[in-house]
Amino acid sequence: MATYNNLITQEFVKETRTDGAVTSITIKVVAYDGDNNMTTVTGSASGEYLVHTDSTWQNRTIEDEVYYDWDNCTALTSQTMNYTVPEADQTSLTQSTTHPHNHTEQLEYQTKRIAWEDSYKVLSGYDDLYSNLTTAVDAL
């Protein structure tokens, strides 16, 4: 069994859209060895957005804050689950990354994202994600 003193887990959410609307999302949890093969980026004054393959949402960086560059970190193992978005929680709105932002739309999109998260995190499959991830790490 491999040993990890600094096990890092990260959760990614990727949207799948049908005719523009978000109809399902894929939740991926990934384990990393925080002491090895991790790459970071530092935010600058221009506030770049971080792009990750498994994440639809792009985090805007804050100057001098250090962030993991997940696409360039070596994963130990991962687990995924799919969540079908109920019609009431579907949206065609997307993230805005340039000024000026449509404030109302961005808050509405945020509300949808929170609703998805509140829903999938209470599913038994979500608990299984992490227990399976732990089992997979233990087996390495």
What residues line the site for another protein (CB under 8 A)?
Answer: 1, 3-11, 34-35, 47, 57, 59-62, 65, 67, 95-97, 99, 101, 103, 106-107, 109-110, 113-114, 117, 121, 127, 130-131, 134, 137-138
CA distance 76 to 36: 10
C-beta of 37 vs 60, nearer to another protein: 60
C-beta of 17 vs 112, nearer to another protein: 112
What letter represents residue 23's amino acid?
T
**Spatial contact of 83 and 25, defined as CB atoms under 8 Å apart:** yes
- Give the nearest distance from C-beta 2 to another protein in angstroms: 8
Instruction: Please give the distance of CA 81 from its chain centroid, rounded to a whole number.
Output: 12
- Give the nearest distance from C-beta 21 to another protein in angstroms: 19
CA distance 57 to 42: 18
Listed residue (21, 36, 33, 75) closest to 53, CA to CA:
75
C-beta of 10 vs 90, nearer to another protein: 10
